[in-house]
Amino acid sequence: MRSRRYLTLGCFALAGGLALNSLLGPLLLGVIDFRYTQTYENQGVGLDAFALACAVPLLILAGVLARNELPAAPFLAIGPALMAAYMMPQYLLGAHYLALPGNNEDFFLLHLGLFVLAVGVAITAWQLVTAGGLPRVSRRFQRWTGVLMVAVAAFLLLRYVPALFDIWLGEPTDEYRLDPIAFWTIAFMDLGIVLPAAIVCGIALLRGFEPAVKPMYAIVAWFALVGPAVAAMGFAMVINDDPNASLTSAIVFPVYGAVFALLAAYLFRPLFGDHGRQVRQEVHSSDVTEAAGRQIQEGGTR
């Protein structure tokens, strides 16, 4: 019961914080002047636009559902929360603090607070999801989801390995020379977080490891937002005639996001139907039993 209240407050607070960050950034008001190169600033504009248009509404909806004790709430919350936790360090680590003008360090506490809040919302949502409350999915579906996750891991390797070898051979691309900080920041996050999550969960699903089903829901929700977020960054570069813009990436990532969005819709759809009502009744019964137990305990100690 208390965790659901925390989730409600956390979702609303994170939605407000992300909206504030997007409004204050280069997308609209320009109050936060990031010490970015033009390419990285264009990416930031796309990310802010996506957060404002997609992540914020999802968090508000998740908060409303959590307040009404609907079981779909944690599933809707965990995707944007993980996306915010994944993206927020890039706001801080991608800046050229001693080389370029700006003031984003003045907003360090805002970005740090949003990161901590996003992690807190994701953990709270994760705790509210019980294995018994998950809709059943077929082994075939699990296998195909595992294949897609392994494919994401392979895509990341194919994307970064050639660039890494070029750097190690002393022949980096022009994009790398313009902004090596951005490259290493994003590569560290992708290869250190996204790739391990995708490959471990994907292999576990392929092998029929039942405990991997719960992480599958979280990772599908996360990937369903990360793909479109990266696509929005790529589109912002194309629209602003960025010399490092890649139309291929701007096309590939929406497709990747659409695939996982369809998976998320398929996985979460039962939570809005009979299964969701059943889980809600079970949770309500558990809360009533828990409250009665506390009253008996308190009465016995008086």
* pLDDT, tens only, 122-174: 999 999 887 666 778 888 989 999 999 999 899 889 989 999 999 999 999 87
Instruction: Give the model's pLDDT for residue 291.
Output: 43
CA distances from 148 to 101, 210, 251, 255, 259 (A): 42, 18, 18, 12, 9
From CA 117, how far away is CA 112, in angstroms rounded? 9
Query: Which residues have C-beta within 8 Å of that of residue 100, sequence separation ≥ 6?
Result: 35, 36, 37
Q: CA-CA distance, 182 to 176, in Å (whole number)?
A: 8
pLDDT at 233: 87
Residue 275 has pLDDT above 60, yes or no: no
Rounded (10°) CA dihedral 121, 13, 113, 52: 100
Residue 206 confidence (pLDDT): 94
Indicate whether 10 pLDDT > 70: yes
Confidence of residue 283 (pLDDT cuts 50, 70, 90): very low
* Per-residue confidence (pLDDT) for residue 264, from 0 to 100: 86
Instruction: Report yes or no: 205 and 228 within 8 Å, Cβ to Cβ.
Output: no
Instruction: Give mean pLDDT, residues 30-50.
Output: 91
Domain definitions of the chain by residue range: 2-301
Select the more confidently predicted residue: 137 or 16: 16
At 175, the pLDDT band (50, 70, 90 cuts) reads confident
Asked whether the predicted pLDDT for residue 281 surpasses 50, the reply is no
N- to C-terminal Cα separation, the chain:
25
Q: Measured between alpha carbons, how far is 36 from 112 in angstroms, rounded to an integer? A: 18
pLDDT above 90 for 274: no
C-alpha angle with apex 257: 60 to 212, nearest 5 degrees? Answer: 85
Q: Residue 149 is encoded by which pair of tokens?
A: 């996750």
Please name which of 95, 94, 115, 113 lies closest in space to residue 103, comparing C-alpha atoms.
95
Please tell me the distance from the alpha carbon of residue 163 to that of residue 176, in angstroms, as a whole number: 9
The predicted structure's pLDDT at residue 302: 52
pLDDT of residue 131: 60
Choice between 285 and 15, residue whose per-residue pLDDT is larger: 15
Q: What percent of the chain has pLDDT over 90?
A: 45
pTM, to two decimals: 0.84
pLDDT at 282: 46
Q: Which residue has the higher pLDDT, 102 or 234?
A: 102
